[in-house]
Amino acid sequence: MSWDDIETNWKQLKASVRQKWDKLTDDDVDDIGGKRDALSGKIQNTYGIAKEDAHKQVSDWETMLTNIAKPDARVTKESGAKPLPDEED
């Protein structure tokens, strides 16, 4: 999932943001509006962490969303599950 996708689907992802960073308020999440730098900055200020740590948390969250949106075909094959039609070799 690209950051453009995250920004486009921000309303649907608000719950995920609040679950990941539970100190952020609904107003904080609304104000962020899907902007990556705004999310990182709000995390940095709210949690009192370094800028690099906030960026890493946001990147890790983005990676998690990407993995959920398109699971690794190797994991699907190793688990014995049938791949989705677009994952077949």
| This prediction's pTM | 0.76
Q: Could you give the CA distance from residue 64 to residue 50 in angstroms, rounded to a whole number?
A: 21
Give domain status of residue 75, yes or no. Answer: no
**How many domains is the chain partitioned into structurally?**
1
Query: For residue 3, is pLDDT > 60?
Result: yes
In tens, the pLDDT along 35-67 reads 999 999 999 999 999 999 999 999 999 999 888
Q: Could you give the CA distance from residue 24 to residue 50 in angstroms, rounded to a whole number?
A: 17
Q: In this prediction, what percent of the chain has a pLDDT beyond 90?
A: 67
Give domain status of residue 13, yes or no. Answer: yes
Give domain status of residue 82, yes or no. Answer: no
Take residue 14 and report the two structure tokens written for it. 């608000």
Give domain status of residue 29, yes or no. Answer: yes
3-state helix, strand, coil in the chain (%, to 5): 75, 0, 25
Q: Strand (E) positions, the chain?
A: none
For residues 14 and 65, the answer to whether their CB atoms sit within 8 Å is no
Identify the residue with better confidence: 71 or 77.
71
Give domain status of residue 63, yes or no. Answer: yes
Residue located via tokens 């960026």: 55
Helix, strand or coil, per DSSP, at residue 27: helix
Provide the residue range defining the domain that includes 17: 3-69
Q: What is the pLDDT of residue 66?
A: 86
pLDDT band at 80 (very low <50, low <70, confident <90, very high): low
